[in-house]
Amino acid sequence: MKKRIDEALERILPNVQKPARYVGGEYNQTVKDLQADSIDLRVAFCFPDTYEIGMSNLGIRILYGIMNQMPGVWCERVFTPWGDMEEAMRQVGVPLYALESHDPVKDFDMIAFSVGYEMSYTNILTMLDLAGVPLHAADREGLHNIVFAGGACTYNPEPLADFFDFFSLGEGEQSTVEILECYRAAKQAGLSKAAFLENVSKIPGVYVPSFYEHRYNPDGTLAEIVPLHGAPAKVTKRIVQDLDKAYYPTKTIVASTEIVHDRMNLEVMRGCIRGCRFCQAGYTYRPVRPRLPETLFDQAVASLEDSGCHEITLSSLSTSDYRYLEPLTDRLTDYCAARKINLSVPSLRADNFSRELMLKLQKVRKSGLTFAPEAGTQRLRDAINKNVTEEDILKTCEIAFAGGWNNVKLYFMLGLPTETDEDVIGIGDLVYKIYNTWKACASNKKRGVRIHVAVAFFVPKPFTGFQWEQQTTPEEYLRRCRLLKEHLNNKSVEFNYHEAKLSELEAVLARGDRRLGALLEAAWRKGAKLDGWMEYFDYDKWIAALEECGIDRSFYTTRGFGLDEVLPWDTIDPGVTKRFLLRERERAYRSEITPDCRHGCAGCGANRLLDCGVCDP
């Protein structure tokens, strides 16, 4: 089969875009010998998006390394082929194959997905179908081709429940090993799939959707969720207790072709101290756990030397909140400057952006300045708990413009709960003030200034303070976009906004229930694929699928969820409690901020996941 696949690839690849992403062979890929390494468990690790996106994902690299460290296990990578490649593969009859061995995915024991974006759901179906694996978990018998998933989207896995045998919730460093061992034991003992699922469901963090029955009220809302087969009423996500001892991929694959984040990624901490009320990652990655700067420095040096990359980024949800940023950047800038390595620090916040840090980074390279005030007025920023003031933003811009920066990117959201026209116009006012700051402080006015304003359509997500909120209608969102545009007339300002339709569907899937499995399949059968890509996103196919399935999308978007309604994701415990989220919602309506974790624990509940029970953010 491999030979046939290779021969066919020789002929397909000259005719597809970016063929290098379909062949593997990169430096540091893991190749094992089935006999010599006594491989008894093969995992096809699938990422439901393109190679360029998937290879930029740190989580994939961590789990790839961890699985391949296990003796007898060989984990290989699989990505979604671009449309031209998919078509060529179907035409010639090449099944979905893994990059390392070029063996068909169908030959693998386990098929693991990492799902981080709602609009990649149809890619999962494309991949299973191209692999020749039945889409529905119920149609897959026996232990061969067990399909499971982890990743940010699995905090509400219900829309995917039909297709997956189980989900692995939270950080997979330890649970993935336990899951693979459980599978291996089941395979050796010749267990049935049902018996394996019972065993695997006993691993903390594992959620087997077929062990839960969802019952609905006549009005379509959930009536109750009934655990079956002795399954736990709540499945709590897993976390790594000690990040300094956790595996970090210092020896990681270096892509042979350009990927989105083509650099080393140093994860300085997990979790976020801020608690922005719209941000799912901010809540679900808690508790906050920083790494020690010594650990990070060693990891940086090891991974830079091993990969030969000349760029490294300090990543986390809010890197400027990292407790040891100063000592870490001090050491790293010296190391990097001596070796002509670029050091970048994304997601800098305006309020603690120091001149020193900026100058330090400038030594290596001057990158653009990025802020995410998210809202235009202080009232609304308080309501969403984005604790940044206009003064902070203008002060930072002042320093940056005086230091020679002339490029600012600003991110906002429209359609936020409690938002009024005043808040929309407030964005225009803020941008105008930034422009005036540039005029007053720029060190070199001849080069001009570029202010990019990017607007996203607010999508209410599970496990946020806004998980019950109504989404604004696309029409209203677009009206607010136009209103903002009228208040941004300045040649130096570039304005763009997210597609409303995409964000509307994202909202449907994000808070979707089990009944949406049929919708996903119908949309996919109509040809929906690569929906996160404008080249492919086709709203009409989704509308037709909604109609075919008799699903009213407003049920999931503009309706809003009742505060005492049973939520589809109520079985999942991500650490933060529903009580805390409700409190955050109330504070939002009072425009009342919640201080960050370092100024006092707000009692979100995530500390319960720590062995010691207390956060040390």
Residues forming the site for ligand SF4 (CB under 6 A): 286-288, 597, 601-604, 606-607, 615, 617
Q: What is the DSSP string of 542-593?
A: HHHHHHHHT--GGGTTTS---TTSBPTTTTEE-SS-HHHHHHHHHHHHTT--
Long-range (24+ apart) CB contacts under 8 A made by 193-196 are 193/140, 193/141, 193/142, 193/143, 193/146, 193/165, 196/143, 196/146
**CA–CA distance, 377 with 383 (Å, rounded to integer):** 10
**CA–CA distance, 272 with 153 (Å, rounded to integer):** 18
**CA–CA distance, 171 with 59 (Å, rounded to integer):** 9
Figure out which of the listed residues 215, 339, 482, 579 binds another protein, where binding follows CB under 8 A.
339
Distance in Å, CB of 612 to ligand SF4, minimum: 11
**CA–CA distance, 518 with 593 (Å, rounded to integer):** 40
In the chain, the N- to C-terminal Cα span, in Å, equals 52
340 binds, among another protein, ligand SF4, none (CB under 5 to 8 A by kind): another protein
Element (DSSP H or E) covering residue 362: helix 355-364
326 belongs to the binding site for another protein (CB under 8 A): no
Amino acid at 291: R
**CA–CA distance, 464 with 615 (Å, rounded to integer):** 20
597 binds, among ligand SF4, another protein, none (CB under 5 to 8 A by kind): ligand SF4
259 belongs to the binding site for another protein (CB under 8 A): no
Beta strands at 222-227 and 212-216: parallel, antiparallel or unpaired: antiparallel
132 belongs to the binding site for another protein (CB under 8 A): no
Going by C-alpha positions, the residue among 271, 170, 281 that lies closest to residue 572 is 170
589 binds, among another protein, ligand SF4, none (CB under 5 to 8 A by kind): none
Figure out which of the listed residues 19, 204, 346, 595 binds another protein, where binding follows CB under 8 A.
19
Going by C-alpha positions, the residue among 570, 521, 529 that lies closest to residue 549 is 521
606 binds, among another protein, ligand SF4, none (CB under 5 to 8 A by kind): ligand SF4
**CA–CA distance, 178 with 164 (Å, rounded to integer):** 18
Nearer to ligand SF4, 415 or 617 (CB): 617
Figure out which of the listed residues 1, 2, 3, 8 binds another protein, where binding follows CB under 8 A.
8
Q: What is the DSSP letter of 243?
A: T
Segment near another protein (CB under 8 A); pick from 3-11, 187-195, 207-215, 496-504 = 3-11
Residues facing residue 593 across a β-bridge: none
Nearer to ligand SF4, 286 or 541 (CB): 286
Figure out which of the listed residues 40, 306, 326, 398 binds another protein, where binding follows CB under 8 A.
306
Nearer to ligand SF4, 251 or 583 (CB): 583
288 binds, among another protein, ligand SF4, none (CB under 5 to 8 A by kind): ligand SF4
Distance in Å, CB of 517 to ligand SF4, minimum: 33
**CA–CA distance, 112 with 43 (Å, rounded to integer):** 7
12 binds, among ligand SF4, another protein, none (CB under 5 to 8 A by kind): another protein
Nearer to another protein, 536 or 539 (CB): 536
Figure out which of the listed residues 126, 252, 307, 467 binds another protein, where binding follows CB under 8 A.
307
Nearer to ligand SF4, 264 or 288 (CB): 288
Distance in Å, CB of 306 to ligand SF4, minimum: 33
Other residues' Cβ atoms within 10 Å of the Cβ of residue 412: 23
92 binds, among ligand SF4, another protein, none (CB under 5 to 8 A by kind): another protein
Going by C-alpha positions, the residue among 254, 270, 249 that lies closest to residue 171 is 270
66 binds, among ligand SF4, another protein, none (CB under 5 to 8 A by kind): none
Segment near another protein (CB under 8 A); pick from 44-52, 90-98, 229-237, 400-408 = 90-98
Nearer to ligand SF4, 322 or 457 (CB): 322
Distance in Å, CB of 464 to another protein, minimum: 39
**Binding positions for another protein, rule: CB under 8 A:** 7-8, 10-17, 19-20, 22-27, 84, 88, 91-94, 254, 256-258, 262, 305-310, 339-340, 365
